[in-house]
Structure 1
Amino acid sequence: MPAIDLTRILPEARIAELPNPYFGKVRDCYDLPDTGSGEQRILISSDRISAFDRILTAIPWKGQVLTQMARWWFENTADIAPNHVLSYPDPNVVIGKKVEILPVEIVVRGYLAGTTGTSVLTLYKKGVRQMYGHTLPDGLRDNEALPQPIITPTSKAFDGGHDEPLDEAAIVSGGLLTQAQWDEVSAMALALFARGQSIAAQRGLILVDTKYEFGLDADGRILLADEIHTPDSSRYWHAASYAEAFAAGTRPASFDKDVIRAWVAERCDPYADPIPQIPAEMIAQTSAAYIEAYETITGESFVPDASGTTPLERVRSNLAPWFG
């Protein structure tokens, strides 16, 4: 694993020479003018880490890790689902087709797990057996494998609202997707998840659940967008820990991306109070966890790009051909 230089971070990528900026929680994006081949978007993954609807800190190499891990998965699933990617001019940057994100969030779950209000485990423990258009049997235990993977779609809350559980009938009758679009998206999602679980198993991992983003391009084609099978969009367990943890009724060991989140929540009201300074050793530990996830999931060594005086200078240089 490479040595972690805590000063080598990309906290933001605000580049005045690029047009039509849009700054998200962790990505800084720019929409390029249509030159005849369709609209394109530059997506720059910063090293910001967010929780509680705010930015907590920056984690060295996080943006490169997630961009390159998603790239690995996009390339290893392109036969299942076409995706938005056009090129990678920099390790932190994707140039992709601009898509209109579909208003349904597609979550595929293989296990009775989760902590949010819309997770299957939360609902199941409340006595719910019919959810998301599926009927689950009685007698399932926490973190048990479901009879087969299921899609648990929710409405996509674009304006800060809460996601709401949906099923196929509500999606189609409500006009969120046509029947043909739902059939295509659901088939691709289950096939992507099966590929992900198969590859994860070869790495000694269990892909528990994941989120997919699909969008429509200018021609109305459905494309896989955003990211795929990264620790930020997926839950992974270490397979070797599963049997013992399941027998004990505890959570299997995982890539815990919530270390910083838990540390902050123990020390303040993270929705209202100032965020305390996060220790350097915790930032380094989190960076190492992201790198470990990359190397375990892809089976490849992570090679940080330390070219350029700073990460931002390198990104600016690599994106110069797109300056207006």
Structure 2
Amino acid sequence: MTSPLLRPVLAAIDLPDLPGHYRGKVRENYDLADGRRVIIATDRLSAFDRILAVIPYKGQVLTQTARFWFEKTADICPNHVLEYPDPNVVVGRRLDILPVEIVVRAYLAGTTGTSILTLYRQGARQMYGVRLPEGLAPNARLPEPIITPTSKAFDGGHDEPLSPAQILEQGLLTPGQWDQVSAYALALFARGQALASERGLILVDTKYEFGLDPD
């Protein structure tokens, strides 16, 4: 007997009546003429810039998880959300994405080439404009959360580590924009830590992406 919970996976979706289609690793996006963007989370699973599999309900879980956090942090930082017409869909304002990703880290952890543990094991102590002390053990809690920004790679490219000085020198953000997004990121991370702690969890690190309203 087939379980009622099983359903065909949503590997891709094509809505020819909607304009401005863009396919990301996981989401299908449509830009409407009135400035709204329709974002549909598929069941594709992506890691390390590769699509690995499709998992039933993965897109729904992704959208509803994002909804939880957008609603829990709306008092800290404005977001793009206008409505959720379907469990897999969010309709939001189209923004101009800033070319910097803001990663906040509270622990010496990670496995990617841009993680502070990877760099620390390679002997680096100065990274992302921050100097880490000697003698830290893997996965140790840092004295305080730090911001480790990276470039925002598009079209399958790879993110690269940046320092605040490099961000400003390269004109990726203005000083005012950097001050605002870094303050937002630290405040959002603190809210995440508090909510995680209430449930006996720790928030090790997370990434934030910001955009500007073109209007």
Q: Return the alpha-carbon distance in structure 2 between the equivalents of residues 4 and 62 of structure 1.
A: 16
Structure 1 residues 63-103: Cα deviation after superposition (integer angstroms, max 9, x where no partner): 11110111011001001100010111111100011011111
1:27-176 correspondence to structure 2 within 5 Å: 27-34=27-34, 39-51=35-47, 53-176=49-172
TM-score, length-scaled by structure 1: 0.63
Q: Return the alpha-carbon distance in structure 2 between the equivalents of residues 89 and 27 of structure 1.
A: 16
Runs of 5+ unmatched residues, structure 1: 220-324
Q: Return the alpha-carbon distance in structure 2 between the equivalents of residues 95 and 138 of structure 1.
A: 47
| 1:131 CA drift (Å) | 0.7
| 1:55 CA drift (Å) | 2.9
1:1-324 correspondence to structure 2 within 5 Å: 5-34=5-34, 39-51=35-47, 53-219=49-215
Q: Return the alpha-carbon distance in structure 1 between the equivalents of residues 201 and 8 of structure 2.
A: 30
C-alpha contact 1:100 1:216 (8 A) present in aligned 2: yes
Residue type of the alignment partner of 1:200: A
Structure 1 residues 265-295: Cα deviation after superposition (integer angstroms, max 9, x where no partner): xxxxxxxxxxxxxxxxxxxxxxxxxxxxxxx
SS in 2 for 1:108: strand
C-alpha contact 1:47 1:63 (8 A) present in aligned 2: yes
| 1:135 CA drift (Å) | 0.9
C-alpha contact 2:49 2:156 (8 A) present in aligned 1: no
- The structure in which a higher percent of residues are helix is 1
Identical positions, percent: 69
| 1:13 CA drift (Å) | 1.9
Q: Return the alpha-carbon distance in structure 2 between the equivalents of residues 66 and 127 of structure 1.
A: 36
| 1:58 CA drift (Å) | 1.6
Residue type of the alignment partner of 1:27: R
Q: Return the alpha-carbon distance in structure 1 between the equivalents of residues 48 and 147 of structure 2.
A: 26
Residue type of the alignment partner of 2:120: Y
Q: Return the alpha-carbon distance in structure 2 between the equivalents of residues 160 and 73 of structure 1.
A: 26
Structure 1 residues 21-67: Cα deviation after superposition (integer angstroms, max 9, x where no partner): 11111111110002xxxx11000001111246443322111111110
Q: What is the CA RMSD across the aligned residues, in angstroms? A: 1.4
Residue type of the alignment partner of 2:212: L
TM-score, length-scaled by structure 2: 0.94
Runs of 5+ unmatched residues, structure 2: none
Structure 1 residues 88-119: Cα deviation after superposition (integer angstroms, max 9, x where no partner): 11111000110111111111100000011111
Larger radius of gyration: 1
Residue type of the alignment partner of 1:208: V
Q: Return the alpha-carbon distance in structure 1 between the equivalents of residues 156 and 45 of structure 2.
A: 18
- The structure in which a higher percent of residues are strand is 2
